[in-house]
């Protein structure tokens, strides 16, 4: 059985999402939003190293290969890791809106077991926007981009200011991020009005 909770149903006044004119072109790799990110960071040795690519409209695709370090049961991906892959894929949609947002709610269906070594082919799209609330959904397929769905999720992201991170993050990482020109460039790529 599956179904989504009421808080993931866009309200009546929700509107269609609009791709930002400066969003990466369809087919372009989005890159990591933060080098130490567990989902996408290239400098994070324990992470998923998920790579997302812009699609048409406010959609994207992503790939992630399940590693031995991602096991829950012997030879199978941990459910939390799979939820992370969905969360990261959904969060990457914000590059296309050029909006900084954090996950408020994530509902996940685990449909099929995912063995170690599997390439997960993920796809995600924003379904609606209502003020600061961004509604989206994602699915992960195995065996190829058109293979059967193994995992899927619906999510609600909430737009925040960059202060959300500055005020709440551990000072040493915030200080390092703020003195890293590459990180500031990435942060600016997310914001319409930095
Ligand atoms: C230094 C440089 C750094 C640069 C970094 C740049 C790149 C960054 C990219 C990084 C990406 C990394 C990404 C990550 O790491 S995401 C990491 C995981 N997520 C979090 O840590 C978020 C933690 N939560 C919060 O901080 C707050 O709760 C937020 C900010 C989400 C909302 O608190 P806020 O006080 O702001 O707003 P509000 O409470 O008035 O709510 C507003 C509306 O939303 C609705 N709502 C809220 N929650 C839920 C819910 N669970 N279900 C259903 N609905 C929910 C709420 O009803 C209301 O609706 P309405 O009444 O308006 O209709």
Both tokens assigned to 122? 């993920």
Q: Is residue 74 part of a domain?
A: yes
Nearest CA to ligand 1 atom 19: 103
Find the domain containing 22 and state its range: 13-185
Q: Is the CB of 33 under 6 A from ligand 1?
A: yes
Number of domains in the chain: 1
Q: Is residue 34 part of a domain?
A: yes
133-141 and 149-159 beta bridge pairing = antiparallel
Banded pLDDT at 194 (limits 50, 70, 90)? very low
Alpha carbon separation from 24 to 47, 72, 83, 99, 133 (Å, rounded): 24, 35, 25, 13, 22
Q: Provide the CATH number for the domain around residue 138.
A: 3.10.129.10
Euclidean distance between CA atoms 49 and 150, whole angstroms: 19
pLDDT per residue over 134-193, tens digit each? 999 999 999 999 999 999 999 999 999 999 999 999 999 999 999 998 888 877 776 544
Q: What is the ipTM of this complex?
A: 0.97
Q: Is the CB of 5 under 6 A from ligand 1?
A: no
pLDDT at 2: 57
Euclidean distance between CA atoms 90 and 86, whole angstroms: 6
Q: Is residue 2 part of a domain?
A: no
Q: What is the pTM of this model?
A: 0.95
Q: Is residue 25 part of a domain?
A: yes
163 Rama class: left (phi>0) / alpha (psi -120 to 50) / beta: alpha
Q: Is residue 1 part of a domain?
A: no
Q: Is residue 90 part of a domain?
A: yes
Out of 102, 165, 188, give the residue to mutate to test ligand 1, the one with the largest number of ligand atoms within 8 Å of its CB: 102
pLDDT per residue over 16-38, tens digit each? 999 999 999 999 999 999 999 99
Q: Is residue 114 part of a domain?
A: yes
Q: Is residue 42 part of a domain?
A: yes
């Amino acid at each position: 059985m599956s179904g989504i909770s009421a808080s993931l149903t866009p309200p009546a006044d929700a509107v269609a999402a609009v791709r930002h004119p400066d969003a990466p072109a369809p087919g372009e790799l989005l890159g990591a939003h933060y080098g130490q990110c567990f989902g996408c960071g290239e400098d994070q040795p324990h992470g998923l190293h998920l790579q997302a690519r812009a699609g048409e409209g406010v959609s994207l695709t992503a790939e992630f290969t399940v590693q031995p370090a991602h096991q829950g049961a012997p030879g199978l991906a941990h459910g939390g890791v799979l939820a992370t892959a969905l969360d990261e894929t959904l969060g990457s949609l914000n590059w296309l809106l050029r909006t900084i947002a954090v996950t408020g709610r994530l509902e996940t269906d685990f449909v099929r077991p995912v063995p170690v070594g599997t390439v997960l082919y993920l796809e995600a799209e924003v379904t609606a926007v209502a003020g600061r609330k961004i509604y989206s959904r994602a699915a992960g397929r195995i065996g190829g981009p058109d293979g059967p769905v193994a995992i899927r999720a619906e999510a609600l992201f909430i737009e925040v200011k960059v202060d959300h991170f500055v005020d709440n993050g551990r000072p040493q990482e915030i200080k390092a991020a703020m003195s890293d020109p590459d990180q500031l460039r990435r942060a600016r790529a997310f914001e319409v009005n930095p």
